[in-house]
Amino acid sequence: MKFGLFGINFGPCANPQTAAKLARAAEAAGFESLWTGEHVVLPDPRVPPSPLPPQTPMLDPAVALAFVAAATTRIRLATGIIILPQRNPVVLAKELASVDVLSEGRLLFGVGAGYLEPEFAALGAPFADRGARCDEYLDAIVALWTQPQPRFAGRYAAFSGIDAQPRPVQRPHPPIHVGGQSAGAYRRALRRGNGWYGFALDLAATRRCVDGLAQARSQVERPAGLGRLEISVTPPPSVTPDDVAGYAELGVDRLALMLLGRSESELLAQVERAAHDFLNAPT
């Protein structure tokens, strides 16, 4: 089991000094990865299913990861997730390739279709076809990252006669982790992802998602070049070391533990406790 930490770009970690201290502490403790979340805007007043109060500070994932890359040397840097249908895929491909270059090949690209309609409306992004856009934008980004002379012709994105340098350090491209708990997300992960990511899932919810992935495997053909589908989960804050075996039995490869705290000191103490409980726990 690999262990990461989720929440490096919001709340107290929106403060640069706090983010850098947390990142260095996580790396020194032996955590494998740091994960960001994303919401460009949040509904005000807060309405379901909005996950956070609208006043929560949240840094852009690419900017935050580039910043903590400069404060660390080894720990992997993950987006968990970027809401892809809200983005221009050509611009995003450049931003994330830049993160991979600046971090010397440490990016994990987590992506999802999104679910907050008010956020889409504020950005002028269509909500109804977000799944189809997510699929196509992923294909366009991979083309920009891998083709010697990038070309793409789709319904929502098209380009030719261009180049986009630098390419990511990782080959053929940074690992793509598809988030979501819908049938479409499971199919997307199997067709296009190196991994699948689930957020705030206890053991029962993780089991349902693993079953959903298994059902999707009977419906779609996974390209051989993608290899085995890696499974990453952010568990609830109540997760205990005793739960780890249960996640492992379900096939989970990585747990990205939530960072929850109201201050820098609380978060640093949480990193220390998590390292003791999860990284140094007896096996």
Q: What is the mean pLDDT of residues 254-275?
A: 97
pLDDT digits 0-9 by tens, 158-199: 999 999 999 999 999 999 999 999 999 999 999 999 999 999
160-199: string of b/e by CB count within 10 Å (b at 16+)?
eeeebeebbbbeebbbbbbbbbeebbbbbbbbbbbbbbbb
Give the chain's domain count.
1
CATH code where residue 243 lies = 3.20.20.30
pLDDT at position 31: 98
Alpha-carbon distances of 276 from 26, 30, 269, 281, rounded to whole Å:
12, 10, 11, 6
For residue 207, how far is the Cα from the chain centroid?
A: 20
Alpha-carbon distances of 237 from 5, 61, 154, rounded to whole Å:
11, 22, 41
Specify the pTM.
0.97
Question: How confident is residue 281, by pLDDT bands cut at 50, 70 and 90?
Answer: low
pLDDT at position 120: 98
Boundaries of domain holding 263: 2-279
Q: What is the mean pLDDT of residues 36-43?
A: 97
Using CA atoms of 12, 97, 95, 38 in order, give the dihedral in degrees to the nearest 10. -40
% the chain with pLDDT above 90: 98
pLDDT digits 0-9 by tens, 99-117: 999 999 999 999 999 999 9
pLDDT at position 283: 43
Q: What is the mean pLDDT of residues 231-243?
A: 97
pLDDT digits 0-9 by tens, 55-94: 999 999 999 999 999 999 999 999 999 999 999 999 999 9
